[in-house]
Amino acid sequence: MRDEGIRPKMSQRLLDRLPCVLEGGRFTNAANACLTNDGAAFVLLVSESYAKAHNLAVQAKVRHSAAAGGDPLVSPKSAILALNALLQRAGLSHTQIDCFELNEAFAVIDVLFSRAFPGHEDSYNVFGGALAYGHPYGASGAIILLHLLKSLQKRGGRFGAASVAAAGGVGTALLIERC
């Protein structure tokens, strides 16, 4: 068995030859993008009345959601735009959020997050992100939500925010409150 994510033959010469995936950029390319992996996750999202009627233990409640559009040529920024829209809609400051989860399609997401929300590095992608475990497209949103919930449980936090940047400059974000 071997780790498919390790690229033992990678060199600076090869890195320099990779095309940039964002217009006007020099550094965002396939070498610092997450791998596309297999994966699965399951989230049961129901109304409060359904949960009560079926005696389901509620772990978190969705409090707000938001979407934002940005420049399609620099789509990773849309995750931050969506987070800002979410916080504004919820009437919260980033200092009131206990844990953040963002999909790391590219390493630049981490840089953008730390610039927009300084001081939150310890509450960001607590269990690692897609750069570490890959990006199973159909399951990434559910995986991010489950990681966010586990992070809140582990830390005893109340509010968690998740965000994903999609191709074309669209970002979506979700605010949950742990029960």
Q: Which of 75-79, 95-99, 103-107, 163-167 has the lowest mean pLDDT?
A: 103-107
Q: Confidence band (pLDDT; 50, 70, 90) for 140? A: confident
**Residue 138 is assigned to a structural domain of this protein:** yes
Does residue 3 form part of some domain? no
Q: What's the mean per-residue pLDDT of the chain?
A: 87
* Domain total of the chain: 1
Establish if 58 belongs to a structural domain: yes
Contact 118, 95 (CB under 8 A): no
21 in a structural domain: no
Taking residues 123-145, report their average pLDDT. Answer: 83
N-to-C CA span, the chain: 40
pLDDT score of 137 more than 80: no
Q: Is residue 110 part of a domain?
A: yes
Q: Is residue 9 part of a domain?
A: no
Task: Determine the structural domain holding residue 171 and report its residue range.
Answer: 48-178
Long-range contacts, stretch 13-22, CB < 8 angstroms, 24+ apart = 21/106, 22/73, 22/74, 22/75, 22/76, 22/108
Is residue 37 a contact partner of residue 136, using CB atoms and an 8 Å limit? yes
pLDDT (tens digit, 9 = 90+) per residue, 84-133?
A: 999 999 999 999 999 999 998 778 889 899 999 999 989 999 998 877 77
Q: What is the pLDDT of residue 164?
A: 94
pLDDT for 87 equals: 98
In a domain, 65, yes or no: yes
Question: How far apart are the C-alpha atoms of 47 and 52, rounded to whole Å?
Answer: 9
- Report phi then psi at 101, rounded to 5: -135, 125
68 lies in a domain?
yes
The pTM score is 0.81
CB 35 within 8 A of CB 132: no
Taking the CA atoms of 154, 157, 158 and 160 in sequence, report the sign of the dihedral they define: negative
Comparing 176 with 38, which gets the higher pLDDT?
Answer: 176
**135 against 126, higher pLDDT:** 126
| Structure tokens that stand for 81 in this block | 């735009």
Total count of residues recorded for the chain: 179
| pLDDT of 5 strictly over 80 | no
Confidence (pLDDT) at 63: 98
- pLDDT value for 72: 87
The CATH number of the domain holding residue 86 is 3.40.47.10
105/155 Cα distance (integer angstroms): 25
